[in-house]
Every structure is written in C-alpha cells, then in structure tokens.
Structure 1
Amino acid sequence: MREHHVKSIIEDVCMHSSLGDLVAEPERTSGGLLHKMYEVETTTGKYAIKLLNPQIMQRPQALINYIQSEKIARFLSAEIPAVNAIDVNGEILQKVDSQYYLMFNWVEGTTLTPTEITNSHCEKIGGILAAIHEAKVSELDVHLEKNVELPEINWDEYLRKGEEQEAEWVPVLQENRDQLYEWNSRAAAAENVISLREVISHRDLDPKNVLWHKDSPALIDWESAGLINPIHDLLDTAIYWSENDDGDLEKGRFLSFLEGYEKVGGVIKADWRRTADYRMYGTLAWLEYNMKRSLWMECTDREEQELRTKEVTAALSTLKKYAQIIPELLIWLDNDR
C-alpha cells in the first residue's frame, strides 16, 4: 500500500470516526503479519489504527469474529490488562469506503525480545493466563462456535501446485512430506482428549502481543480470541515465552510460567503427550495458510505473497524443531514440576 494512499485512508478514517485532524504523518508500526497498524496523532489525541486485510474480511465469518473478539477483550479488561478497541456510536468494527479498521487509544510500551524475557515476565504472564481461564464469562454476550474436527491437509496437492509455480519451498516440502502427514495424524488422534473442555482465551498470547511499560504488561491483538482447551493454551503460551533467539526452550522460563499459572489458581491436570501432539496442528494450519498465499490462492498482493513464501520455510523449521524437543518437554512436565 503506497504511503500517499495510506495517508488518504487514515484521513478518511479520522474524519469518519471524529478523531480530529492529523498533526503528523501516520507511522507504520508492528501490526502482525496479517494487517497493517499505524501510529496516528491528531488534534484530539494519539491512536493506533489497524487497517484490516481486505482478503481476510471477505471471509463469511470475519465480521462476526472481529466483533466477538473485541467484546471478549472488553469484558476481560475488568480483570486483566487487556487493550480493547474504541467503539463509535456503539460499533466496534468501523468501515470507510471498502476499508475495515479498528481504533485503539495509544498505549505506551514495547514488546520484549527473547533475550529480554526473564523468569519474572514468564511468571507474570502465566498468572494472567490463569486469570483469563478462570474468568466468569457467563454474562458475556457472544456466541462462539466449538472447534471443528481437524481436517487432514492434502500436502501432496500443495506440493504439486508448488512444483507448477516453481515455488522456492518445494524441496523442503518434499523432504518433510511424510513427517507432515505423520504430525497431522498425531494431532488428529489427540483431538478427542483435547476437545473435552474449553474456555475463552486470547489464543495468541505470545511476546509480540504484550506491550511492557515499567514492568507492567498490556495485552493487545485479541482477534484470535475464542474457545480453546486450557491445557493446550497453557502449553502453547508457555512455549512461546520460553523460546530463546535460537528457538530453543529455556527450562527455567518454562517452569516459571507454569508456576505463575498455578499461583493464581490455574489447575494443571493433563495428558501431556496428547496435548503436545495436538499443539502441532496450529503450526500445520499456519503452514497451509502461508502456502495458499504463496501460491496466489486467496492473495492478490505481491508484498504479501513474498512474505508468505518466506513464512512457509519458517513454519516448516518451527515444526521440525518442535517435534525434536517434545521428548525433553515431556520430561520437564512429568518429572520436574
């Protein structure tokens, strides 16, 4: 998206939402891999404006999902430091012309790099995750669909299409084809155990979605919020916060996260083997998402296509490393707590 076009859209957004006039050029800031976030300063204040990906907003459930996820963030903000979108005339999700967007009051803070994360940070986020899982959400006005049965992904079809388009990731996909089917099968086999209990959660509470200011966290980007098995969510999030620069897990940080979770009342009772297997599916689905867009399926933007092509290789690397560390991870969970 060209900068002069972005400024025009932001100006229309400010007018539509009565934010005042721009007093500085909009600055692109980290907004994740799916959307574009801008720091916007106007005559009425400072805001973060997220321009939502048009391709994603064409999905049938997209509008409902964004509205419900922001309702979850707003509800939980009474209990935890959740950052939720500003509503205008009672509407959370805004639209000007064909562009959907969300607005937030600007929150000071920075995300932590793997080298900056300490045991204390992990314990604190573990406690917040427990508070989310234990929240009494019976009064929350949302209708959330239960997670559907995990499909088996047709990796051979993506391999065929990749070969047709001479995608750069074809060799590494060929090399790992059998493992991808095995990992998919293991995740599906664990589904019956994992689906027995579900709670509402953020579902993407990794370090990029927490801003820190003077050792106080603020939880952002709630678009993935919904139902999830609490033990799956705990394992997933503890791993995110325990990874170092090389993608290896730091045992002290991992156990500190679980300790923080239990201190706030989180109950840890799990079939860790099945939970660890089930966790693979999230990355498998992310791999498929990126392959589709790398192959120009559900993608019309060159910049996004190039980004997704790189993400295919990164997702495969993540899967391989995770499969390798599962045995050690299970020892930590079963013997070292």
Structure 2
Amino acid sequence: MDLSFLGEPTGPMTRVRGGFANRLYRLDTDQGSFAVKELNLLDRREIYRTEDVFRFEQAAFAAGVPMPEPILAGDHTLVHRWVDGEKLPEAPVPAEYAFEIGGILARLHTLDVAWPAAPIQESVPRDWPTLAERATATGQPWAGELARQVETLLAMARFVDTCERPGPAVLTHRDIQPWNLLSRKGRPVLLDWELSGMLDLAGELGSTALSLAKGPGLDDIRPAVFRSVLDGYVAAGGTLPPWGPSWFAFMIGGRLGFTRWNILRCLSGVEADTGPDLALSHESVRNGLRGLPDLFVRLPQLQEMLMSE
C-alpha cells in the first residue's frame, strides 16, 4: 500500500513485536507517528469486515472513546495515529480504571452504526482428539498436555454450544483484554478493533470484567474490580443482563478457538509470513492448555464468588 500521504518518513518503518494475530509496524514521518498493521488474511478464524469495522471505529472516535485515531482501512493494511502509553501488567487493574472501561462499553453500545446481519453462529470445533494425535505424531512440546485435556476441551465445546444467551445483542469491541489496552496518565486507551461486531451483552461484560479483574491465572481474582466494570457500565446508562453462565460462554469459546488456531499454526511447523511468530503461537498453545481447563473446572466457584460480591 502507498503510504506517501502520511508524509515524508523520518526513518525506516520498524516492526513492533508481540502481536497475537497480525503484525504491527511504527512509521514516523514529518506529519507524526502512525501504527501500520499488516492484517493476517491467510488463516483468520473469522471473516474480517474491514469497511464495517472502520466505520464503527470512526463513530467511536467521534464519540470521544479514548482510542487511536483511525486513518485508513485497506484490504490488507490498517493505519491509525500512534498513541504512546504504558502496557498493562498481568495483574488486576485499579478499580478506577475498570470503572472507566465499563463507561466506555456503555458509550459504545449506544452508537448508531449500521451493521450487516449476523450469520448463524457456527458450532465450536470438536476435533481435539485428532489434533492431539497429530501433535503427538509431529513431536509437539505440548502434545502430552493436549492429550490429557481432550475430554475437558470437548466438555467446554459442548458448554459453549448449549449455553443460552439471554441477549440483547450489541455492536461492540468484543476483545477488551489487557493486551488490547494502554494506560495513559492512568486512564485507558482502547486498541485493536479488528474483532468488532455483534455480541451478546452478557458475553461482552463477563469477558471484559473477568479479564481485568485477574492476573495471568485464576489465583488472584479481585471481585471488586469485576464489579467496578459493571458499576461503570450502569453509571454511564447501561442496563445489566441477567446473571448466569452466559457471562463466560463467549470468553471460553473465544479462547478455545484461539488455542486451536495456534495449534494448527504450530502443526504446520513453518512460520507463516503473516500473523504471530511461531514461538508466540507455541506459547499461546501452552497458556491455553493450562488456563482453559482450570477456568472451566472452577466456573461454578467463580460465578458464586463474583455474584455474591
């Protein structure tokens, strides 16, 4: 893509390491600094609605949502104005930060942006036994762990497929996680909008609130931080959906899909030209195989703890 309209470069475009799905570069020019994202279109887990997401981003930015200014959306490339900020540590966020995230969600859910009719939700893949066999045959370092977790992964897929969603469905970011956030003077900046689309409200609130309330595992969960996200949502005019398992079904389904996607990338044995590095995919698989079963087994306890707060 021709990026000359962004100004005269003041140095080479440099890669920013660590992207879980796409590849990011920083371009500094005489007109400012820009984040140039190369989209992984080779093996995406779902269709990316480039133009629709860009319109949603523009509406959110115009509404004052703290985020990088969207500049351009092409077939393979996204451009945003660069925003400096601190990455979030793998730890519960401050309650004030969580409260503000809840308010941002409420603001997003009121935006009047046209969106294509959502396709019928596909069933969660259940090919875990086959994947375990392939991992063993190809000598993957996590093959034994995958084989031991097959039955639990199948149970998780059944849970996601059969869990009732009370609604309503909202147009939203769908991926507000610590790695998609910055802290700028203690306040949030929301990044990486590529997964935006329609989602059951309970799934969005549960995924966001739990991700911000815990550390890398489940041994340090702060119910007060979880509640702060919901309090911020209500304070900004949002209405909470009924409490239940559906609050966590989207999170579990999404992480199942993400783990499976990285397993497939690792099984190829070749680092693709787009998307995460092969080493990062191996790390994501290991994290998924350890964290997901623990989350699922402790789900009743987790619901009780958070609901009683």
TM-score in terms of structure 1 length: 0.82
- Corresponding residue to 2:147 among 169, 174, 181: 174
Residue type of the alignment partner of 2:259: L
Deviating above 6 A after TM superposition, structure 1's stretches of 4 or more consecutive aligned residues are: none
Once the two structures are superposed, residues 112-155 of structure 1 have per-residue CA deviations (whole angstroms, 9 ceiling, x without a partner) of 2134721111111111112222x142xx2432424513234211
Partner in structure 2 of residue 14 of structure 1: 3
Rate the CA distance shift 1:258–1:196 in 2: closer, same or farther, 3 A: closer
Figure out how many residues of one structure are paired with residues of the other and give that number: 306
Once the two structures are superposed, residues 172-202 of structure 1 have per-residue CA deviations (whole angstroms, 9 ceiling, x without a partner) of 0111111111111111110xx2174311010
Partner in structure 2 of residue 321 of structure 1: 294
- Between structure 1 and structure 2, the one with the greater Rg is 1
User: Within 2, Cα distance between the matches of 1:297 and 1:189?
Assistant: 34
- Corresponding residue to 1:125 among 60, 78, 101: 101
Partner in structure 2 of residue 285 of structure 1: 257
SS of residue in 1 equivalent to 2:71: coil
Rate the CA distance shift 1:27–1:311 in 2: closer, same or farther, 3 A: same
Rate the CA distance shift 1:279–1:215 in 2: closer, same or farther, 3 A: closer
Q: Percent of aligned pairs with the same residue? A: 23
Higher helix share: 1
1:41 aligns with 2:33: no
User: Within 2, Cα distance between the matches of 1:310 and 1:330?
Assistant: 28
Greater relative contact order (Cα < 8 A, sep 6+)? 2
Once the two structures are superposed, residues 48-89 of structure 1 have per-residue CA deviations (whole angstroms, 9 ceiling, x without a partner) of 1112225247x9944xx12221211111223222334213xx
- Corresponding residue to 1:74 among 42, 45, 58: 58
Rate the CA distance shift 1:168–1:301 in 2: closer, same or farther, 3 A: farther
Partner in structure 2 of residue 101 of structure 1: 77
TM-score in terms of structure 2 length: 0.88
Partner in structure 1 of residue 221 of structure 2: 249
In 2, are the aligned partners of 1:188 and 1:278 still within 8 Å (CA)?
Answer: no
Q: How far 1:244 sits from its partner (Å)?
A: 2.1
Rate the CA distance shift 1:288–1:304 in 2: closer, same or farther, 3 A: same
SS of residue in 2 equivalent to 1:77: helix
Q: Unmatched 5+ residue regions in structure 2?
A: none
SS of residue in 2 equivalent to 1:211: strand
- Corresponding residue to 1:237 among 208, 227, 246: 208
* Aligned-pair Cα RMSD in Å: 2.6
Q: Unmatched 5+ residue regions in structure 1?
A: 1-11, 95-99
User: Within 2, Cα distance between the matches of 1:51 and 1:179?
Assistant: 35
In 2, are the aligned partners of 1:200 and 1:226 still within 8 Å (CA)?
Answer: yes
User: Within 2, Cα distance between the matches of 1:115 and 1:277?
Assistant: 22
